[in-house]
Structure 1
Amino acid sequence: MRKKCFAPVVDERTRLLVLGSLPGEKSLAQGEYYANRQNCFWHLMSSVIDADLVTMSYGHKLDELRRCGIGLWDVVAEATREGSLDSRIRAHEKNDLLGLIQSLPELKAIAFNGAKALKLGLKVIGSNAEQFSLLALPSSSAAYTLAVSTKVERWRALRDVLIVPT
């Protein structure tokens, strides 16, 4: 079955772009990034920005990310995939990451949520990667069984490039 990503969540303040691979089944069904409660993305981002994103409505979550200079998108525009696992992504088309990056005047860093996003994203960004800090993050997916405490520790490195709310 062919799956399509969501529109990017960015604005003129975006300093950090977090790239996933392609939304999972629950996210696609609900039309929301990281809608699967087993995925710890919102928990991880809560630890990064010191706000309880987990309990917020989806719209407020996105507003809070944008307020802190964080944008979201996916490396894959669309692909064939059974289920939600990145390892099952086939016949994918890439998003226009270069076009998006060029439209973000404050962008300082790009973070990749998981190995698949990193592998595919670096191919698209290529030599343009040199102008940004690149961060390879452990996947927020429950399928990646690294301890959440270790994930939190690694994701907190994102704080170095954010707008610090006052």
Structure 2
Amino acid sequence: MQRGLDPIFNKDTRILILGSAPSEMSLKKQQYYGNNGNQFWKMMFAFFNVPFETDYDKRVALLLDHQIGLWDVYHLFERDGSLDTSFKTVELNDFSQILTQADIKLIITNGKKAYDEVLENNLFSDITIMPCISTSGAANGYMEKRRQ
């Protein structure tokens, strides 16, 4: 089983973006959205209309400065490759730490798998959940839809 990354958040976090689990490249780098084909960081910098940064600490700071945190729905997982369709065994994260330390108002799911898990397991009651098209390189054909 592979272990996901630790959450990124602080007491000021109001929005939590959830993926399913880190890609093989993200695990190797120990960075969220570490695969260069993933559009997550480019989209965040474009959304906030600031120059793009490759420095991971500056990327994280951008999110935290805007009260945004990152995590995944899966704590432990077995998967061939990095595709969400390849999970064999999964264990969900325990979200109580974040929910008691930060006042989360919105959950944004990055991709269908994360959205389905959040709904299927009723992970968050009384918090608005917004699904978004995956930023994964495998979904880059949806780039125009992501911008809408």
- 2:80 is aligned, of 66, 75, 82, to 82
- 2:92 is aligned, of 81, 91, 94, to 94
| TM-score, structure 2 as length reference | 0.92
Residue type of the partner of 1:133?
T
In the alignment, what sits opposite 2:27?
A: 28
SS of the equivalent of 1:144 reads: helix
In the alignment, what sits opposite 2:10?
A: 11
Q: As a proportion of its length, which structure holds more helix?
A: 1
SS of the equivalent of 1:135 reads: strand
Tell me how far apart the structure 2 counterparts of residues 8 and 18 of structure 1 sit (CA, whole Å). Answer: 10
Q: Is the 8 A contact 2:9 2:98 kept in 1?
A: no
Superposition RMSD in Å: 1.5
- Identity of aligned pairs, percent? 30
Matched, 1:150 2:145: yes
Matched pairs, number: 148
Q: Is the 8 A contact 1:47 1:152 kept in 2?
A: no
Equivalent positions of 1:8-157 (< 5 A) are 8-52=7-51, 54-105=52-103, 107-126=104-123, 128-129=124-125, 131-153=126-148
Q: Is the 8 A contact 1:9 1:72 kept in 2?
A: yes
- After TM superposition, which residue ranges in structure 1, 4 or more long, deviate above 4 angstroms? none
Q: Is the 8 A contact 1:97 1:125 kept in 2?
A: no
Gap runs ≥5 in structure 2: none
Deviates more, 1:86-95 or 1:144-153: 144-153
